[in-house]
Structure formats: structure tokens, C-alpha cells
Amino acid sequence: MDKDYSRDLIGYGANPPNPNWPGGARIAVSFVLNYEEGGERCLLHGDDESEAFLSEIPAAQPIKGERHISIESIYEYGSRAGVWRVLKLFDEYEIPLTVFAVAMAIERHPEVAQAMTQAGHEICSHGYRWIDYQYMDESQERDHMMKAIEIIKQITGERPLGWYTGRTGPNTRKLVAEEGGFLYDSDAYDDDLPYWHTEADQPQLVIPYTLDVNDMRFATVQGFNSGEQFYQYLKDTFDTLYAEGETAPKMMSIGLHCRLIGRPGRIASLKRFLDYVKQHDDVWLCRRVDIARHWHEHHPYTSNQEK
């Protein structure tokens, strides 16, 4: 076997560690709101084509050299109406959010970022732009990272402690580690628990995210066709992890988008799920930075525990 094989297909194996969540919780539940509207591809942002990803038009294609006014308008619903509906709901239920914030997006709407921080939500960096970084030059990606950190710091008063690009490139994780100021990186989907990873000779905590327990599937082929399907998938995921949590507590991430879950017909299903979760004891409703701090304190990095 190749000793230099860089993928980890084993992880914690059959016996994952007990995370010892606060209060003896059986499950840690992390709600993530992606704020991307205003940072997507658009000729007004200097791009050579329009956006086509994660909208109400699943089969949309980028338009070279032209604006796609309908797609732009769908995104604008998220920043004009959807985000406020979501923030109001989580305020009513007193549940904290982690916001994956695209820096260019909140730069165009600083009031919403300030409202998020004032409500106690965490601002995690979702990059400078909401674009694909797969083929971006390393130096340019580094510049984007530093710009994102600075913009968030200027608007909220604090630098971000978490990072999530989404559409990463081959240099992303190395750049996160080299920057050195992040408590965690969420550009992974490979586990139900956080784990330590070494990159650029630096230990980096990884808190895996999710693309299945995610409202993005309202906008993808073979995704959710109704709020009822979304609710049932959330409930089934929660029930499974909650049952496992009697002996092996885990973490559940839920991904949300302002322009998707913020629609009236979809947010009703999210409200039903919040009601359901609130009926259970031993649930830790937390931000990702809270999970990171807990893991740093109770499961600090050691060279023989890397997964």
C-alpha cells in the first residue's frame, strides 16, 4: 500500500470517542445559515458570466457576458426578505446560529451582519466570494482569504474563528492552517464528530459540515420536493443520532440558505423541526465555535490521535 496516500478512509473506526458534550448531552445540534447573496457570480462583481447554482431554477446555466436578471432576483430575495425571516425564527426559539458569511456579501449589507452578531450568532468566514476555488491560483486564493478576514473584522469587530469555503481548491486547507488564526475548519463532510488533522505541519480541528441535511437539496436534482420531505429527513437524522447518543453521542449539522429556507412555504417545515427538537432533553443547541472550544479543551491535539 502507498504510505503517502493522503486520504483517511478509517477515521475513528468502530469506537468513536465520547465527546462529553456539556451537560451530558446526547447530541450537539449546529444550525448553519449560509449568507451568500451579493457574493455570487455576476457581471457587476467583475465576473465574465452569471450565477447558476442553488436557485429556484435547478437547470439554469451560466450566461457568458450577460447578466441573468431572474437569478439575481432570486438571490436578492435571500438578502431582502429571507434572512430576516430566518433570524426572527431563531430569535423566537432562542437558538444560536453559525453564519457562513461570504465577505463580499456582508460588505454589501453590513446591517445584517451586525444584526447577527448582536443576536449572539457566530460569523464564520465563507470566503471572500461565493465561487469555485478549484482552479484559482494559490496566491490569489490567499489574498481572498486575508480580504475575507479583514472585511468581517471591520464589520463585526471580531475576526472569524471558523472557515468554510464550500467549493474548495487543492490549496484551501493548507492556506487555512498557514493563516493560523482559525479554531476550526468545516470544509469536510466525512464524520459525525470533530477530529484533528495536520496540514502544513499545523494541527487543525475539522468540524465536518453536511450536504445532505441541507436545504440546498430543494435546488438540486433528486432533492427535496416539499417542506414535508425536508422535515422528515431532519427528523430521521435527529432521531437516529439521538438514539445513538445514549452510548455514543454525535453531532448534527443542518445547512440553511437565506434564499431557500427563507421562503414561507419552506420555513414552516423548519419551524416544525425546531418544535420537535425542543421536546427532547439532553440536546446541546450550539454554534460551531462552541463545539470547537469544547473540543480544544476536552480533546486537545496529540500526535497519536490524528484522524
d(CA 30, CA 26): 13
Q: What value does the mean pLDDT of the chain take?
A: 94
Residue 51: its pLDDT value, please? 84
d(CA 30, CA 288): 6
Tens of pLDDT, residue by residue over 204-226, are 999 999 999 999 999 988 889 99
Model pTM score: 0.94
pLDDT classification of 303: cutoffs 50, 70, 90: confident
Residue 304: its pLDDT value, please? 66
What is the mean pLDDT of the segment spanning 262-288?
A: 98
Residue 50: its pLDDT value, please? 87
Q: What percent of the chain has pLDDT over 70?
A: 98
More reliable by pLDDT, 63 or 245: 245
Beta bridge partners of 198: 203
Q: What is the 3-state secondary structure (H, E, C) of 74-128?
A: HHHHHHHHHHHHHHHHHHHHCCCEEEEECHHHHHCCHHHHHHHHHCCCEEEECCC
Tens of pLDDT, residue by residue over 122-179, are 999 999 998 888 998 999 999 999 999 999 999 999 999 999 999 999 999 999 999 9
pLDDT above 80: residue 3:
no
Backbone angles phi, psi at 141, to 5 degrees: -65, -40
d(CA 79, CA 112): 8
Residue 243: its pLDDT value, please? 98
pLDDT above 70: residue 255:
yes
What is the mean pLDDT of the segment spanning 277-290?
A: 99
What is the mean pLDDT of the segment spanning 14-22?
A: 96
Residue 275: its pLDDT value, please? 99
| Domain 22-299 top-level CATH class | alpha beta
Tens of pLDDT, residue by residue over 90-111, are 999 999 999 999 999 999 999 9
